[in-house]
Amino acid sequence: MGYVDGYIVPVPDGNKDAYRTMAQQASEVFRDYGATRVVEAWADDVPDGKVTDYARAAHKKDGESVVYSWVEWPNKETRAAGWEKMMTDERMKHDPETNPFDGARMIYGGFAPIVEA
């Protein structure tokens, strides 16, 4: 069933194109190091919840949208080896001043699938 990295990040609406460009470049690196699929999805139908929701989880501010992303790997070992290589890959180095999102508010983690249909 593989392994999945998941991400939630708030992105200023005005940075959508810059985020898409950065995400496309990063997806190439992920795939170069073994990822089988990369999905970056811009919020489209994300309701406010009564207790919690994506906006609160990501500390979304006015004028921002939440991006929900995942990277699929064949297994956890490939993911671990891929991440190690990506951390030294020049294509993954970004200037924090020009980053299209606030990385401090990114939520991320690795997940072992329990259902795949």
Is there a domain that residue 20 lies in? yes
Residue 5, pLDDT score: 98
The SS3 of residue 110 is: strand
One-letter amino acid of 110: G
Q: Could you tell me the CA-to-CA distances from 9 to 35, 89, 114 in Å, in that order?
A: 20, 22, 24
Beta 3-12 vs 37-42: how paired, if at all?
unpaired
Residue 98's pLDDT band, with cuts at 50, 70 and 90, is: confident
Is there a domain that residue 116 lies in? no
More confident residue, 112 or 98: 112
Mean pLDDT over residues 43-51, rounded? 96
Query: What CATH number should be reported for the domain holding residue 83?
Result: 3.30.70.100
Residue 64's pLDDT band, with cuts at 50, 70 and 90, is: very high
Rg of the chain over CA atoms, in angstroms? 15
Number of domains in the chain: 1
Residue 36's pLDDT band, with cuts at 50, 70 and 90, is: very high
* Residue 1 confidence (pLDDT) above 90: no
Is there a domain that residue 117 lies in? no
Write out the residue range of the structural domain in which residue 68 sits: 3-111
